[in-house]
Each structure stands twice: as C-alpha cells, then as structure tokens.
Structure 1
Amino acid sequence: MARRKPSPKDAVVRQLHEALKRHYQPAHSAAKIAVKRYNSASVRVRIIDPDFEGQSLTARDDAIWEILDRLPDEVRSEIGLLLLLTPREAETSLMNLEFEKPAASPL
C-alpha cells in the first residue's frame, strides 16, 4: 500500500508538538504534551504538568508562549485551544474532557 503524503495541516500539528518536546519537555520530564487537529482551521494543544502546581494561569501561559512565539505565524495562528493543567486539574476539567472527546466541529 502506498504511503500518503502528509497534508500541510498535519505539518502544523507536527511542528507544534516538536517545538514543545524540544524546548519544554527537557526541563519538565513529567509533562504530558498532546497536540490534536480539531478541524481544518484549528489545532488544540494540551500540556498536563505537575510543575504547573502553584503557578498562576498567566505564568503557565507565558512560559508556553515563549516557546510558541518562535514558530511561524501560520503555525501559531491555528492554535484554537491551549490547555495547561496540573494532573489534579485534569481530573475535573470540563475542557480536558472536551479535549479527550471533542464535540463535532461545524467545519
């Protein structure tokens, strides 16, 4: 069976995932990073990291955007959801549930 050539949209998911693995994961070995395409126009990013414990949402956001801001505009512009949770928060977060079992997209 012939291999399909990855679509440009898959390349966006791959670039986001690789950037976070390369620049965030080494200092946060317990972090779980997931990047999923939600629809043709947006990608969802989730990081579950015990190191987020005690950090404000703004501090978490700033740390991740410092990495994401290095990527091209056309990659960053597809991020529709950036979910940054501790493991405990992930257990009760409705947005985490939406990440795991997304509602159907109208696109």
Structure 2
Amino acid sequence: MPINIPRGKTDEVIDQIIDALQKYAEQHPQAKIDLYRQNPVSVRVRIVDPEFSGQRKPERNHKVWTYLDQLPEEVQSDISTLLLLTPDEKSKSFANFEFDDPVPSQL
C-alpha cells in the first residue's frame, strides 16, 4: 500500500521519511501509513497496523524506530508526532483526532 500524504505537499524531509517507512510498508503490507508536515519544523506520522495488536507502546516504537533510525538526525528531529495504532484504537485515540483535524499552526 502506498504511503499517503493527506494534506500539504512533499518536501525533502518528507521524502526521506517516506523512503525509510517504505521498507516498513513492504514488510507489513496491512499497515496504513500517513504523514504530513504540520509546520516548518514538524512532521506528523501515523501508522495503523493490525500487527500492533497485543503489543505495548514501547514494543511498537522499537519496531518502527528500527526503520526511522536510519534517517539523519536532522530529519528525525522533524518528527514531532508518531502515532502507532491498531485499527480498533484509531477511532478511540484523541491524538488520532488531532492528526486528522489539526489545530492550525500559529507559525
């Protein structure tokens, strides 16, 4: 499944994040990945993956950061939000509501 950018456009940092997460997507074909730039210094990433079921947040983070750790530090530092949810958690997560309908940036 392709990685989706639900708002805005791509840039060099987003392209690098997409490249890193493409490997995750290939190995986890049921995962749905969305990302976008919230403001000049903030990229939000959401991964909804049924394979997260039964895993605690540290386990999920470790699984995904295995891919993101390959990015340069200055690219990693732009990732301000990383939501790692199961499909069932998506409809219950307040952070997910903010991801879908973000408060406009004050920058």
Please give the range of the TM-score, normalised by the shorter of the 2 chains: 0.7 to 0.9
Deviation at 1:15, TM superposition (A): 1.1
Task: Find the counterpart in structure 2 of residue 11 from structure 1.
Answer: 12
Tell me the TM-score normalized by structure 1: 0.87
Unaligned runs of 5+ residues in structure 1 are: 1-8
Q: Give 1:6's aligned residue.
A: none
How many positions carry a matched residue from both structures? Answer: 98
Give the TM-score of the pair, scaled to structure 2: 0.87
Partner of residue 4, structure 1: none
Q: Residue 79 of structure 2 corresponds to which residue in structure 1?
A: 79
Over residues 3-37 of structure 1, what are the superposed CA-to-partner deviations in whole Å (9 max), with x where a residue is unaligned?
Answer: xxxxxx7111111112101x211221110011100
Structure 1, residues 37-79: CA drift from partner, whole Å, max 9, x if none?
Answer: 0001110010000000000100000011111111111110100
Aligned position for 1:97: 97
Aligned to 1:46: 46
CA RMSD of aligned residues (A): 1.1
SS at match of 1:43: strand
Gaps of 5+ in 2: 1-9
User: Which residue does 1:5 correspond to in 2?
Assistant: none
Structure 2 counterpart of 1:63: 63
When Rg is computed on C-alpha atoms for both structures, the one with the higher figure is 1
Taking the aligned partners of 1:18 and 1:98, their CA distance within structure 2 comes to: 25
Give the ranges of 4+ consecutive aligned residues of structure 1 lying more than 6 Å apart after TM superposition.
Answer: none
- For residues 12 and 88 of structure 2, the distance between their equivalents in structure 1, rounded to whole angstroms, comes to 31
* Distance of 1:36 and 1:83 partners within structure 2: 12
Identity of aligned residues (%): 48
Aligned to 1:3: none
Following TM superposition, by how much is the alpha carbon of 1:88 offset from its aligned partner in structure 2, in angstroms? 0.3
